[in-house]
Amino acid sequence: MSDLTGKVALVTGGSRGIGAAIARRLAGDGATVALTYATAADKAQEVARQIEAGGGRVLVIKADNAHPGEAVGAVERTVSDLGAIDILVNNAGIYLGGPLAEISAADVDRILAVDVRAVFLASQAAARHLPSGGRIITIGSALADRVPAPGMTLYAMAKSALAGLTKGLARDLAPAGVLVSLIHSGLIDTDMNPKEGPGAQFLTSIPALGRYGTAEEVATAVSFLAGPGGQYVTGAAISVDGGFAA
């Protein structure tokens, strides 16, 4: 486990799935954790209770990344309430897909607002506070590297934008000693994409390992990048996808 004692981490979308696993892992590594939720207040509080039961300190923030002021506000609230921010994990996101002809302009605007604009704005806000050695880690998708079926164009486009954002931020923030990385997560078993859900048989055939990953496996990669092991990693995209894009 990484030693993050004394660090403050903000995990967006930390009420369930991958975000909840990341929040729990960073707290277990010693960090004080702030986590955001958009609608699932009960689930966010349950994650907070789990962290506190393990002796951790946690701050729960209601913030919907569809609204730019709330994405920035979550960063500022973390700093004002916890005194600092050392690690920003941009995890919150939505999935929108379907037949190309049925995608509306409103769909395009919504996914770019939540999955791209909010990541940029939260990272920009965090950069004003992050110390040397600070980290920005964004959770992307293996669909940025491989689109295995129709109906995923909009989501793949949004997640592909995060690669350029990560590289640009890495260059902009390197003089301040801030490291920026991206995780391409693959087929992960969550309540939004359960391994027993519709289409699971087809989806399981895509990764080289032939199985769904777990949220904890993604959290382990975040822990590495956030800790001492990640101190020479910046501008990089790391795949935690079981060979989805192989």
Catalytic residues: 155
Compute the Cα dihedral for 165, 166, 168, 169 and give only its sign: positive
Distance CA 72, CA 164 (A): 21
Distance CA 216, CA 50 (A): 15
Reported as type and span, the H/E element at residue 58 is: strand 58-62
Burial label, 212 (beta-carbon count in 10 A; 0-12, 13-18, 19+): buried
Residue 60 neighbours by CB under 8 Å, 6+ apart: 34, 35, 36, 37, 44, 45, 48
- Helical residues (DSSP H) of 10-152, grouped into ranges: 17-28, 41-53, 68-82, 105-112, 118-127
